[in-house]
C-alpha cells in the first residue's frame, strides 16, 4: 500500500513539473510583457550616464523606485525630493530623482507619486566606499574599495563604467536613502503627527507613518534574460549559476540557492544508500541499525563541510571580511525620546525590562498554549488512526487499506494550516515586543517559529517511535506526512503565486496589447514600473530556510525507518530550485541585495537539529530488536550502552567541529595577509603624522 502511495506521489510530481515548465514556457515565449522592458528601457545594463528609452522618460537610467501614498501633501513631496537631491555636505543624498510620467491609458486611480531614483557614476563610486564594498584587486585578493586606489582593482577601466553591478548600485542607493536624517525639522512637512528630531532617519519615519509605501529596485531586461536562460529556462543537469545570481540578486539570495544546491547533492549518498536498503529490507522493519549509523555520520559531516563551502563563497563575493554596518532602529520601534550614548543622537528609548516582561509573561505563555493545542490535535489524529485501523481489521479490503492513510493526510494538511496561522501570530507578538534592531526581531521570530514548527511537525513521530513503539506505523506516518507536505508546498510556492500574478497582470496585458496595435511598441518604462510596483514583495529567505530545516529534520531524525525519505527530498529540492527561480524572476519584486557572509541563525538551527538527530537515532537503535538480542538479560545494560554510545558520538561530533576549520587554509592566509598589510599601512600613516 505504501508503494502505491509513493507511485501516486511520483506521478503527481511529474505532472506538476510538466505543468510548471509549460507555464514557464508560456510566460517567456508567449507573453512578452511579463517583466520585460521596451527596447532599451533599461538596456545597456550599467550605462548609468546614458539616456532612457524615450523622450518623455527621465534624463538618467533609473535604478530604484520610491512610492508615496497617492494623497501625499505637495510640501511633503517637495521636501523629500530636495533631501534626495541636496549635496551631502548639506545633509542630502546627492542622488538623481524624477517623477514617473503617466502610463498608457492613465486612469485617475493610478498613484501619481512614483519617483525614479538614480545616481551619477562618481556618486556611486563614493557610495561604494561608504558602504565598505569589497572588490577583487589586481593581485587577486578581496579588498575594501576606495576611490583613491580605484585603479588597483580588477575590471576597473577608464572611468569605471561597468565596475559595479546593478545590484550593488541599487544597494548603494538604498543605503544613501536610509541615511537621510533630519536636521532642524521637528516634524515631516504637511504631517504634524510625524515627529522628527535631529538625527532621525527620514525614510524610516515616513515608513512607520505610512506616508512612504515602498522602495524597490527595478529589474534589468537583458541581464534578467541571460540569468533566466542559464538558471531555469531549460532543464539541465548542471550546477546553478551562483555567481550570476549573486551579481543580480546579491549575496543573501545566492547563499540560499547555494545551500539548497549543496543540501541536494549532500542527500544523494543518503538516497543511493536508501534505495537498495528500502528494496531489500522493506519487509523487515527492524533492520535499520546500519542505516541509522550512516545517518548519524552523514548529518554530522555535511554541516561542517557546508561552513567551508559558505566561507569560500563569501570570500569570493567579498562579504567574508566585510564589516557589518551599524544597525539603525527598526521603522516600527517606538519609545520615549532619549539620548543614545553610542551615536550621540536623540532617538526613542525603550526599557529592556519592559521588553523582557512582554516576552516572558505574554509571548512565552502564548507559545506554550499553542504547543498544548498542537498536542491536542495530535491526540485527535491518533484517535482517527485507531478508528481507521479498527475498520481495516474488521474488513481488510483495498479501500479500507486506502482509508489507513486518510488520517495522516488530514493531519498533514492541519499541520500546514496551523503553521501558517501560528506564523502570523508569532509576527504580531514579536512586533509587539518592540525590538530595537532588525537582527533582534528576526532572532526572536525565528526562535518562536522553529519551536512551534518542530513540535507541530515531529511530535507525532516521536510519540509513535518512543511511546507506541510501532515502527510500521512510524514508517507509514513519516511517508504520508512528508509526501503530503511536499505536495502542499509545491502548490503554495509554485502554482498559487503564478496564478495570482497572472490575475494581477491581466489588465496591464490588455493595455499593452492595445498599445502594440496602435503604435507597434513594446511595454514602456512607465507601465513596467507600475507593473512591478503591483507585484508581491519578496519577504526574504525565512520561509525557504524553514522548509529546508523541516526537510532536514525528516531525513536526519527518522529516515532510518523510511529510507526513501532522502529520495523524496531530492525530488522536492530539484523542483524547488526551478520554482524558486521562477518566482524570483516573474512573481516577486526584485529585492535589494543583502551582503550576507553566511546563512546566519539558520546554521545554528541546522546544527541543533543534527544534535537532536544523534540522540533520536541512538534511541531508535536501542529499541531495535537486533540490539536488544545482545542485552536480553538486562535492560539496564542496554540503556547504559545506548547512552554511552550516544555520548561518544556526540563527543566525536564536537571534536570534528574543531578538527575541520570553518574557513579553508588558503583563505585564512589571504585574510591574515590583508590584516597585516592594513596594520602596516596604519603604522606608516601614524609615522607620517608624527613626522
Per-residue pLDDT, 429: 93
574 within 8 A of 10, measured Cβ to Cβ:
no
Tell me: the pLDDT tens digits for 651-669? 888 888 888 888 888 888 8
Alpha helix stretches (DSSP H) within 624-634: 625-628
259 falls within a domain:
no
Between CA 491 and CA 488 the distance in angstroms is 5
Q: What angle do CA 124, 130, 133 make, to 5 degrees?
A: 80
Local structure of 505: helix, strand or coil: helix
Sheet holding 96-99, edge to edge: 96-99, 114-118, 64-68, 212-217
587 falls within a domain:
no
195 falls within a domain:
yes
Between CA 335 and CA 41 the distance in angstroms is 45
Class of residue 574 by CB neighbours under 10 A (exposed 0-12, middle 13-18, buried 19+): middle
Which candidate, 14, 8, 35, 18, places its Cα nearest to that of 527? 35
Local structure of 604: helix, strand or coil: helix
Number of separate domains in the chain:
2
**Full DSSP string of 456-475:** HHHHHHHHIIIII--HHHHH
Between CA 202 and CA 564 the distance in angstroms is 54
Per-residue pLDDT, 553: 92
Q: How many helices (H) and strands (E) does the chain have?
A: 23, 10
User: Which of 215, 246, 263 is the endpoint of a domain?
Assistant: 215
Tell me: the pLDDT tens digits for 195-231? 887 878 889 889 888 899 999 999 988 888 888 888 8
519 falls within a domain:
no
Per-residue pLDDT, 608: 92
User: Which of 400, 420, 440 is the endpoint of a domain?
Assistant: 420
627 φ/ψ angles, rounded to the nearest 5 degrees: -80, -35
CA end-to-end span of the chain: 86
461 falls within a domain:
no
618 within 8 A of 642, measured Cβ to Cβ:
yes
- Sequence-distant contacts of 516-519: CB under 8 A, at least 24 apart: none
User: Which of 165, 182, 215 is the endpoint of a domain?
Assistant: 215
Class of residue 260 by CB neighbours under 10 A (exposed 0-12, middle 13-18, buried 19+): buried
Per-residue pLDDT, 10: 37
10 Rama class: left (phi>0) / alpha (psi -120 to 50) / beta: alpha
Between CA 76 and CA 209 the distance in angstroms is 13
Class of residue 174 by CB neighbours under 10 A (exposed 0-12, middle 13-18, buried 19+): buried
77 within 8 A of 110, measured Cβ to Cβ:
no
Per-residue pLDDT, 448: 93
Q: Which residue has the cell 539548497?
A: 260
562 within 8 A of 490, measured Cβ to Cβ:
no
176 within 8 A of 194, measured Cβ to Cβ:
no
Give me the half-sphere count of Cα atoms (radius 13 Å) on the Cβ side of residue 640.
5
Q: Which residues in the chain land under pLDDT 70? A: 1-58, 102-108, 158-160, 234-238, 281-288, 325-326, 494-523, 690-691
156 falls within a domain:
yes
71 falls within a domain:
yes
pTM: 0.84
Q: How far is CA 60 from each of CA 48, 63, 169, 532, rounded to the nearest angstrom?
A: 7, 9, 14, 19
24 falls within a domain:
no
614 φ/ψ angles, rounded to the nearest 5 degrees: -60, -50
Range of the domain at 88: 66-101+109-215
Per-residue pLDDT, 5: 38
Between CA 142 and CA 39 the distance in angstroms is 36
Per-residue pLDDT, 490: 77
To which H or E segment does residue 217 belong?
strand 212-217
Kindly report the three-state secondary structure assignment for every residue of 149-215.
CHHHECCCCCCCCCCCCHHHHHHHHHHHHHCCECCCCCEECCEEEEECCCCCEHHHHHHHCCCEEEE
Q: Is the dihedral of CA 495, 499, 500, 502 positive or negative?
A: positive
Amino acid at each position: 500500500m505504501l508503494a502505491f502511495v509513493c507511485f501516486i506521489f511520483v506521478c503527481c510530481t511529474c505532472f506538476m513539473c510538466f505543468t510548471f515548465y509549460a507555464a514557464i514556457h508560456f510566460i517567456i515565449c508567449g507573453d512578452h510583457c511579463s517583466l520585460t522592458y521596451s527596447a532599451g528601457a533599461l538596456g545597456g545594463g550599467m550605462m548609468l550616464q546614458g539616456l532612457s528609452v524615450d523622450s518623455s522618460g527621465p534624463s538618467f537610467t533609473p535604478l530604484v523606485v520610491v512610492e508615496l501614498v497617492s494623497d501625499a501633501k505637495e510640501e511633503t513631496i517637495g521636501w523629500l525630493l530636495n533631501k534626495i537631491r541636496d549635496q551631502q555636505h548639506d545633509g542630502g543624498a546627492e542622488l538623481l530623482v524624477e517623477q514617473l510620467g503617466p502610463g498608457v491609458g492613465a486612469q485617475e486611480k493610478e498613484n501619481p507619486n512614483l519617483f525614479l531614483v538614480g545616481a551619477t557614476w562618481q556618486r556611486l563610486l563614493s557610495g561604494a566606499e561608504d558602504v565598505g564594498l569589497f572588490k577583487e584587486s589586481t593581485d587577486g585578493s578581496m579588498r575594501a574599495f576606495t576611490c583613491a586606489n580605484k585603479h588597483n582593482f580588477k575590471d576597473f577601466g577608464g572611468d569605471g563604467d561597468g565596475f559595479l553591478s546593478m545590484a550593488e548600485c541599487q544597494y548603494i542607493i538604498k543605503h544613501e536613502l536610509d541615511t537621510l536624517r533630519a536636521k532642524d525639522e521637528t516634524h515631516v512637512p504637511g504631517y504634524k503627527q510625524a515627529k522628527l528630531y535631529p538625527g532621525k532617519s527620514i525614510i524610516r519615519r515616513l515608513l512607520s507613518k505610512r506616508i512612504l509605501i515602498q522602495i524597490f529596485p527595478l529589474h534589468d531586461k537583458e541581464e534578467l534574460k541571460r540569468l533566466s536562460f542559464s538558471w531555469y529556462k531549460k532543464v539541465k543537469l548542471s550546477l546553478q549559476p551562483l555567481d550570476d545570481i549573486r551579481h543580480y540578486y546579491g549575496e543573501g539570495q545566492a547563499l540560499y540557492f547555494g545551500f539548497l544546491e549543496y543540501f541536494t547533492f549532500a542527500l544523494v549518498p543518503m538516497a543511493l544508500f536508501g534505495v537498495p536498503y528500502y528494496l531489500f529490507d522493506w519487509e523487515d522493519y527492524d533492520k535499520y541499525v546500519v542505516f541509522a549509523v550512516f545517518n548519524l555520520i552523514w548529518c554530522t559531516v555535511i554541516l561542517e563541510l557546508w561552513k567551508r563551502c559558505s566561507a569560500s563563497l563569501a570570500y569570493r563575493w567579498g562579504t567574508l571580511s566585510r564589516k557589518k554596518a551599524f544597525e539603525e532602529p527598526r521603522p516600527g520601534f517606538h519609545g520615549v525620546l532619549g539620548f543614545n550614548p553610542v551615536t550621540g543622537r536623540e532617538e526613542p528609548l525603550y526599557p529592556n525590562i519592559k521588553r523582557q516582561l512582554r516576552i516572558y509573561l505574554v509571548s512565552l505563555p502564548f507559545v506554550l498554549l499553542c504547543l498544548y493545542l498542537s498536542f491536542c490535535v495530535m491526540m485527535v489524529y491518533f484517535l482517527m488512526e485507531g478508528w481507521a485501523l479498527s475498520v481495516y481489521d474488521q474488513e481488510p479490503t483495498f479501500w479500507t487499506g486506502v482509508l489507513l492513510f486518510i488520517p495522516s493526510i488530514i493531519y498533514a494538511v492541519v499541520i500546514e494550516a496551523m503553521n501558517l496561522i501560528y506564523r502570523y501570530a508569532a509576527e504580531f507578538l514579536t512586533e509587539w515586543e518592540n525590538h530595537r534592531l532588525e537582527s533582534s526581531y528576526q532572532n526572536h521570530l525565528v526562535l518562536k517559529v522553529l519551536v512551534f514548527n518542530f513540535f507541530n511537525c515531529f511530535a507525532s513521530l516521536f510519540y509513535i517511535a518512543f511511546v507506541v513503539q510501532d515502527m510500521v506505523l512510524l514508517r507509514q506516518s513519516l511517508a504520508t506526512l512528508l509526501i503530503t507536505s511536499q505536495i502542499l508546498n509545491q502548490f503554495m510556492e509554485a502554482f498559487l503565486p503564478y496564478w495570482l500574478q497572472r490575475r494581477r497582470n491581466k489588465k496591464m496585458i490588455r493595455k499593452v496589447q492595445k498599445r502594440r496595435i496602435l503604435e507597434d511598441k513594446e511595454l514602456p518604462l512607465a507601465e513596467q514600473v507600475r507593473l512591478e510596483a503591483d507585484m508581491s514583495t519578496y519577504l526574504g529567505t525565512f520561509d525557504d530556510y524553514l522548509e529546508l530545516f523541516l526537510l532536514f529534520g525528516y531525513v536526519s531524525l527518522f529516515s532510518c525507518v523510511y529510507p526513501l525519505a532522502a529520495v523524496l527530498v531530492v525530488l522536492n529540492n530539484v523542483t524547488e530550485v526551478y520554482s524558486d527561480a521562477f518566482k524570483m524572476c516573474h512573481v516577486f519584486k526584485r529585492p535589494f541585495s543583502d551582503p550576507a557572509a553566511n546563512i546566519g541563525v539558520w546554521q545554528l538551527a541546522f546544527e541543533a537539529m543534527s544534535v537532536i538527530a544523534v540522540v533520536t537515532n541512538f534511541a531508535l537503535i536501542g529499541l531495535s530488536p537486533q540490539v536488544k538480542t545482545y542485552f536480553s538479560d538486562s535492560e539496564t545494560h542496554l540503556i547504559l550502552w545506548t547512552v554511552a554510545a550516544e555520548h561518544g558520538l556526540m563527543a566525536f561530533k564536537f571534536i570534528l567541529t574543531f578538527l575541520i576549520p570553518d574557513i579553508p587554509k588558503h583563505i585564512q592566509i589571504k585574510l591574515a595577509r590583508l590584516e597585516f598589510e592594513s596594520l602596516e599601512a596604519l603604522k606608516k600613516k601614524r609615522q607620517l603624522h608624527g613626522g
